[in-house]
Structure 1
Amino acid sequence: SRALFGSCRYIVEDLLPRFGVTSTLVDGRDIDAWKKAVQPNTKILFLETPSNPTLEVIDIKAVADIAHAAGAKLVIDNVFATPTLQRPMEFGADVVVYSATKHIDGQGRCLGGVVLADQQFISDYLANFLRQTGPSLSPFNAWVMLKSLETLDLRVREHARNAEAVARFLEGHKGIERVFYPGLPSHPQHDLAMSQMEAGGNIVAFEVKGGKAGAFRFSNALQVVKISNNLGDSKSLITHPATTTHQRLTPEAREELGIREGLLRLSVGLEDSADLIEDMERALA
C-alpha cells in the first residue's frame, strides 16, 4: 500500500532496491489495484490499516485472499489499531508487525518492535537473522514492555473512548476543515473499519483552516496536548506530518496521500476528554 509510515516508504523506495528488491505502490483501498500489481515473483503484500496519518482502512481479508492466491504472504503493520482493537491474523494475515514503542509501552520509555508469525516463518526467516544481527531488547526494557502489556487492553479502550469524543468535537467545529477518524460514521470506510476493529482507535487526523500557518498556530496554542511525533502514549501528542513523519516525500506524493499542509495527527491520550476538548477549543479560538 502507498499509505505507509514515512520510514516504511523510505525502506521500500530507497533501501530495499539496493539489494535488488523491487516494489509496487498501490492505493490500498482499491482491491483491483492489488490484483494488477501482483507479479509472478511477488513474495509479500504489505499494508497498514488504519494508515498513518490519514487513517485509510483496507480490507484485510480481500488482500489476504489475493496474496495467498499468488503464493505470497500478507504482512500488516497493526500499530494504529493495536492487538486490542484489531487482530489481522483472524482475517488471513500471515505476519503482523508492531512498533512496541507506541501503545505496547504506552509511556514513551523504551524502543522496541514486534514481529508475530507462525513458528515456521520465524524459524525460516527471522530466528537466525535476529541472532546474528542482534536487535534484541535489553532485559530491563523487556521487563517494562511485559509490565505494560498487563494494562494494554484497559489503556487502549480508554484511549479510543477519548478519541471518539475528541473527533466528534473537532468534526463540529468551524475552525476545522475535515476530520479523519474510523469511528465516525462520516469516515468513508466506517463500516469496513467497524467490521475489522472493535473501536476507532486513539489516532485522529484533521485539517485546520489556514494551512500550515493555521496548523502551527493551533499546535503551539495547546497546553494539555504536547507536540511530539510519538503516539500511543498516555499523554496526548500532536504532530504535523508534512514536516515530520512524511517530510521526505515530495509535495506531490504527500498530496496524493491526502497529507496537506493543514493536516495534523493527534494521538489521544488518557487525560480526561473534557480537558482535551477545552484545550483544543481554546487553541482554536
Structure 2
Amino acid sequence: SRSGNPTRDLLGDALADLEGGAGGVITATGMAAVTLSLALVRPGELIVAPHDCYGGTWRLLAAYARTGRAEVAFVDLSDRAALERELARDPRLVWIETPSNPLLRVTDIESVAARARVAGALVAVDNTFMTPLWQRPLALGADFVVHSTTKYVNGHSDLVAGAVVARDEALLQDLAWWANCLGVTGGAFDAWLALRGLRTLHVRLRQHEENAAALAAAITGHPAVARVHYPGLAAHPDHALAARQQQGFGAMLSFELAGGLPAVRRFLDGLRFFSLAESLGSVESLVAHPESMTHAAMTPEARAAAGITPGLLRLSVGIEATADLLEDVTAGLDRAAAA
C-alpha cells in the first residue's frame, strides 16, 4: 500500500545496508525520489545544483524556481569560488550528481559536503551512475543518497522506480512522512524486481565496467572522435579524484564526434548491438543523443553552459561480449568519419 509494504521495506533496508544509511524510502520513479528530496525545501529557500545535471532534474529545479517553490542556483561545483558565493547565501540543500550525466565530470563529495555543512545545508548525492558498490556518498559526508533504481540496481529494463537513503533516523522519518503524504511510494512488485536485480549487481557491474573501459580505450584517438569523457582514462581531468572517491570507474561514457550532428546520424545508422534509448544501466547496451533526448528540456543556453553539444553521444555499456561491442562502435565511428 502507499503507507507500508514489507517487500518495499526489504528493498529499502537492503539499499540502506549497501549505502551505510539508517534506512531507505522506495519511490515509484527516479524523478519521484528527486521530488521527495525537494519536499525538505521550503518556499524561498535556496537549492544549489550542478549546472550539468540530468535533464529531468534540471527541468524540475527550473520549474521550482520559475513558480516560486524555491530559489535555485545552477553552479559549476568544481568552481570553488562560484560554490562559495552560493554557500554564503545559506542554502537549504546542495545537490550533487557525480559522475555527471552526460559528461562524466566528477565532484569531490567530501570537499563539497564539508563546506555545505558549515553553511548549514543538507547534501544530497545522486548515486545512480555508481550504485553503492562503486561509491558510498554517506561515508563522504552526504546526508542522503538518491537513486533511480530503474537503472543499475534493477538492471533489466523491466521496472521504473527510485529510492532515497538517509544518513540518520530523523531525516529518514521526515522523508518517509513526505513520501506517504505525497503518494510517491513504489509498488510491491517493483520492489521485488529490484531485489532480484540486487542479487546480481556485483557480477553485472564487473562486466559493465570491463566493457566500458575497453570501449573508452578503443575510441580514443579515432579520427571521428573529438573528445572522450570517461573517468577511467588517465587523461580525464578528474581521473585522480575518481580513483580516490570511487571503487570503480563505471560503465557510462560519452564522446563528441568531430563531424557534429551529421556524424551522429551516420554513427547511429547501422548499429547492431547498441539501441537508441534514453535509459541506462541495464544489461543491454544503449546509446543516447543528450541534446535531443535526455537533456532536451534544458534551454539551449543551459546546454551550452554545460557543454552539451550537437555532436555528443552517451553510451550505457552493457554486458554483451566485448568484441561485439568494440566491432559495433568502431564500425559506427568509421561511418561517422565519412560524414
Coarse TM-score class (shorter-chain normalised): over 0.9
Separation of aligned partners in 2, 1:268 and 1:139:
29
Which residue is 1:169 aligned to? 218
Instruction: Verify: 1:42 aligned to 2:113, yes or no.
Output: no
Distance verdict in 2 for CA 1:39–1:23, change over 3 Å: farther
- The one of 177, 183, 186 aligned to 1:137: 186
Percent of residue pairs identical: 39
Separation of aligned partners in 2, 1:20 and 1:272:
48
Instruction: Verify: 1:18 aligned to 2:70, yes or no.
Output: no
Separation of aligned partners in 1, 2:59 and 2:206:
32
- The one of 216, 220, 223 aligned to 2:269: 220
Residue pair 2:90, 2:119 contacting (<8 A) in 1 also: no
Which residue is 2:170 aligned to? 120
Which residue is 1:249 aligned to? 298
Separation of aligned partners in 2, 1:160 and 1:31:
30
Separation of aligned partners in 2, 1:224 and 1:70:
48
How far the C-alpha of 1:17 sits from its partner, in A, is: 4.5
The within-5 A match list for 1:1-285 is 1-117=50-166, 118-123=168-173, 125-285=174-334
Separation of aligned partners in 2, 1:140 and 1:249:
33
Separation of aligned partners in 2, 1:187 and 1:3:
17
Separation of aligned partners in 2, 1:250 and 1:228:
21
- Cα shift readout 1:71-110 (whole Å, capped 9, x = no counterpart): 1111111111221111111111111000000001101100
Residue pair 1:3, 1:28 contacting (<8 A) in 2 also: no
Separation of aligned partners in 1, 2:147 and 2:245:
17
- Cα shift readout 1:172-213 (whole Å, capped 9, x = no counterpart): 312111100000001011001111111210101001221011
Separation of aligned partners in 2, 1:197 and 1:132:
35
Which residue is 2:24 aligned to? none
Secondary structure at 1:242's aligned position in 2?
Answer: coil
Count of residues in correspondence between the two structures: 284
How far the C-alpha of 1:149 sits from its partner, in A, is: 0.6
Q: Which amino acid in the other structure matches residue 122 of structure 1?
A: L
Distance verdict in 2 for CA 1:148–1:200, change over 3 Å: same
Secondary structure at 1:241's aligned position in 2?
Answer: coil
RMSD: 1.3
- Cα shift readout 1:111-145 (whole Å, capped 9, x = no counterpart): 1001010211011x212221122222222111111
Given the two structures, how large is their TM-score scaled by the length of structure 2?
0.81
Given the two structures, how large is their TM-score scaled by the length of structure 1?
0.96
Separation of aligned partners in 1, 2:90 and 2:112:
17
Residue pair 1:204, 1:267 contacting (<8 A) in 2 also: yes
Residue pair 1:238, 1:265 contacting (<8 A) in 2 also: yes
How far the C-alpha of 1:28 sits from its partner, in A, is: 1.2
Secondary structure at 2:250's aligned position in 1?
Answer: coil
Larger RCO (alpha carbons 8 Å, 6+ apart)? 2
- Cα shift readout 1:16-67 (whole Å, capped 9, x = no counterpart): 5424310111111112221111145411111101000001111111101111
Q: Which range moved further: 14-23 or 246-255? A: 14-23
Unpaired runs of 5+ residues, structure 2, are 1-49, 335-339
Unpaired runs of 5+ residues, structure 1, are none
Separation of aligned partners in 2, 1:20 and 1:205:
33
Residue pair 1:3, 1:52 contacting (<8 A) in 2 also: yes
Separation of aligned partners in 2, 1:203 and 1:131:
33
